[in-house]
Amino acid sequence: RNCQDTHVQCQENSLRLDRPFGLMAVDTMSLCVHQISSEDAYLALSYVWGDRNTFLLSRDNLSTLSEAGALTACWQMIPQTIKDAIILAKDIGFRYLWVDALCIVQNDPNNKLRNIQQMASIYANATACIAA
């Protein structure tokens, strides 16, 4: 963080990709999912999905998962890789983490398509990417 706060060259997006509009992220402090502003710094998780029956953001649980503490109630259903990334992000001082399973409404074709089309921008605009 010090690098980004004090070095002008580290503050620039070298790929020059516009920041995605309407980006959802996991709030690592409130343990919920919600839309972040264009000014909010976030980390992004790049990982291999394991079991296809993993816990996902959907139309059915979007409202519930937007409430503070909501991820606590379903913590045991969240894959360990994602839980580890949430904890890491919080521990190193990042409030927001983008992870596809919890930040793309998986059963909303329009939301899913928009996010897939913005994937390069999502990763390029993250402060850092966690590879797992």
User: What is the mean pLDDT, run by run of 10 residues, along the chain of 132 residues?
Assistant: 62 65 95 95 93 87 98 95 97 98 96 94 96 93
pLDDT of residue 40: 95
CB atoms within 10 A of CB 49: 12
**Cα–Cα distance measured from residue 56 to residue 8, given in angstroms and rounded to the nearest whole number:** 37
Question: Which domain covers residue 58, as residue numbers?
Answer: 2-131
pLDDT of residue 5: 63
Give the count of domains, the chain: 1
pLDDT of residue 2: 60
pLDDT of residue 14: 54
